[in-house]
Amino acid sequence: MNQDKIGKLILQLRKKQGLTQQQLADKLNVSAKAISKWECGNGFPDITMIGEISKVLNVTADELLSGKLNNQQKHWKKYILFISILLMAVLTITFIIIPIVSKKEKNAFKNCIVIRTYYIDNIGKSNDDNYLYITVHEYQVEGTFTMKLSRLIGNNLEVGNNYEFVFKTTKDYLKTTTDILFLNSEVINIKYSDKVGNEIVSKSYCDKEVK
């Protein structure tokens, strides 16, 4: 251990913290004269005080005893802290901010209504008493579709009739096929329709504008 180097380091750290010799002495419960001796290299702190001195001067015991600061270690700590903060920011943006923004953007298009008329080919039971299966087809559209529907809203349907289905959806599903529309939309109303042939017209509305 080099007393001169240790003394210079104590002097450097004391001044860095804006302490006088007396103020540092008071913190360590020693005399100002003892501090002066250490800083001049004419004396060395008692080994039992190294821990307390290191704590007060904000250095490690190894740094104090070696008489020099381990700047590389401090740089690594700062680097690790920076990476940690950056990682937290990325995770926050990825898993919190982006989903919230995306949800808001998606919700901005939820005020869309699609009205389509379907002919009911068949009504079947579901294992879940809250739902039933309906087989439908659309005028001038090929193919039939069997879809799951809440019994609460579809309980009064009858096979062999036309019904207007009103869907609440987003702009993404305004012109999709029946199966995709059912899976990604909410059926908010069903009413009997006596329209036939060319009288049957599908409609969609978004933001109160006809699309």
Domains 3-69 and 112-210 share a fold: no
The model's pLDDT over 168-189, given as tens digits with 9 standing for 90+, comes to 999 889 889 999 999 999 999 9
Q: Average the pLDDT over 184-205 and give the result.
A: 92
Confidence class of residue 104 from pLDDT cuts 50, 70 and 90?
A: low
- C-alpha distances (whole Å) from 3 to each of 9, 21, 65 are 10, 18, 9
pLDDT at 47: 87
pTM for the whole thing? 0.48
Domain boundaries, the chain: 3-69, 71-108, 112-210
Q: How far apart are CA 115 and CA 204, in angstroms?
A: 6
CATH topology of domain 3-69: 434 Repressor (Amino-terminal Domain) (1.10.260)
pLDDT at 209: 47
pLDDT at 21: 94
pLDDT at 210: 40
CATH topology of domain 112-210: OB fold (Dihydrolipoamide Acetyltransferase, E2P) (2.40.50)
Q: How far apart are CA 118 and CA 194, in angstroms?
A: 11
Confidence class of residue 211 from pLDDT cuts 50, 70 and 90?
A: very low
Percent of the chain with pLDDT over 70: 88
- Structure tokens of 12? 């450097």
The model's pLDDT over 5-57, given as tens digits with 9 standing for 90+, comes to 888 999 999 999 999 999 999 999 999 999 999 999 898 888 889 999 999 99
